[in-house]
């Protein structure tokens, strides 16, 4: 080795110094660096795990938020729908009350008009009797018995003669429901009592009798029992005469 110019002792000392330096670097530098790198890697890993946990927590919070918002929207929609339903019910209720009130007002007006018309016709009955008596006197040229004339006029308007309603058949069958009796002028209480008695006798029961006034019948009575109509009005008699003359 000396022939090569290498001093063995020098080489050995250098090797020892290199190994010693390597040992010192390993002990003083490499291991701390390794430890620092490992700690840094662990911090990075922990940071990544924390970030992942935070992301998962954020995702859970976002999902919970969306769920809460969805429930809130559903509740809000339910409240709005309920409010609309209640508003619609209240509107329909108010409309129904308004219709009922309007119908009540119309019914009251009709009843008042009917009562007023019946009252006027009742007041006119005496005038009609007087005119009829005057007409009879004019036709025959002499005064008839006033009581007889009044009786004839009453029979004409009421259809009641000698305590009987002449237009009613002897048997009318067991018809159900109320009986509607229409006359040209309001019947007196005595005439109405005769009509009720006659109807009870013919029907075999005490019926509910509704009296109506319609000047169009002119005279006599129109009796409706269920679907059956007995028309003994003077207007019907005139119509029959017109048809007979037209044939």
Backbone angles phi, psi at 197, to 5 degrees: -65, -45
Cα 130 from Cα 224, distance rounded (Å): 31
* pTM strictly above 0.85: no
What's CA 196's distance to the chain center, in Å? Answer: 41
Q: What is the pLDDT along the chain (247 residues), one digit of tens a residue?
A: 555 556 666 767 777 877 777 677 666 666 667 777 778 888 888 878 888 888 888 888 888 888 888 888 888 888 888 888 888 888 888 888 888 888 888 887 777 766 666 666 565 555 555 555 555 554 454 455 666 666 676 777 777 777 777 777 766 666 677 889 998 888 888 888 888 888 888 887 888 889 988 888 888 888 888 888 888 888 888 888 778 777 6
């Amino acid at each position: 080795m000396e022939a090569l110019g290498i001093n063995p002792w020098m080489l050995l000392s250098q090797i020892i110094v290199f190994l010693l330096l390597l040992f010192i670097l390993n002990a003083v530098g490499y291991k701390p660096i390794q430890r620092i790198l490992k700690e840094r890697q662990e911090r990075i890993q922990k940071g990544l795990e924390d970030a992942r946990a935070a992301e998962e927590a954020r995702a859970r919070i976002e999902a919970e938020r969306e769920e809460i918002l969805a429930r809130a929207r559903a509740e809000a929609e339910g409240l709005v729908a309920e409010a609309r339903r209640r508003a619609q019910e209240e509107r329909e209720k108010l409309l129904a009350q308004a219709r009922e009130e309007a119908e009540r007002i119309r019914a009251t007006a009709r009843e008042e008009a009917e009562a007023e018309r019946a009252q006027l016709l009742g007041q006119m009955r005496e005038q009609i009797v007087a005119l009829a008596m005057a007409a009879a006197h004019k036709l025959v040229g002499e005064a008839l018995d006033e009581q007889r004339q009044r009786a004839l006029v009453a029979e004409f308007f009421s259809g009641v003669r000698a305590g009987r309603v002449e237009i009613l058949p002897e048997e009318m069958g067991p018809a159900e429901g109320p009986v509607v009796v229409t006359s040209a002028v309001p019947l007196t209480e005595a005439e109405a009592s005769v009509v009720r008695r006659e109807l009870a006798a013919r029907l075999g029961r005490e019926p509910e009798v509704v009296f109506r006034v319609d000047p169009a019948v002119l005279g006599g009575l129109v009796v409706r029992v269920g679907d059956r109509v007995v028309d003994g009005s003077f207007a019907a008699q005139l119509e029959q005469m017109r048809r007979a003359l037209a044939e």
